Amino acid sequence: MSNEQEKLYEELKKILKDDKINHHDFNQEYTRITKQLEKEKGKYEITRTTNKTN
C-alpha cells in the first residue's frame, strides 16, 4: 500500500469516528476519499502490469 493510500485510510477512519460531522459532509468526504483511493489503486495496478510485461 502506498503512502498516499495510508493517508487516505487515516482520513477515512477520522470521519467515520466523527460524531459531529453532518450527513452531507460525511457523504462528500467519503466519496472524495474513496475516489482518490480508486485512482491510487489504478496507478498501482497499471505500474504492476507494466512491470510484468517488461
Domain total in the chain: 1
Task: List pLDDT tens digits, range 4-28.
Answer: 888 888 888 888 888 887 888 888 9
CB 36 within 8 A of CB 8: yes
* 52: its cell numbers: 510484468
Would you tell me the crossing angle of helices 23-53 and 3-17 to the nearest 10 degrees? 160
Instruction: Give the model confidence (pLDDT) of 29-47 as tens digits.
Output: 888 888 888 887 777 676 6
Q: How confident is the model at residue 54 (pLDDT cuts 50, 70, 90)?
A: very low
Cell for 31?
466519496
Structure confidence at residue 47 (pLDDT): 67
**C-alpha cell of 7?**
493517508
Which range of residues forms the domain containing residue 24? 3-53
pLDDT over threshold 60, residue 52 = no
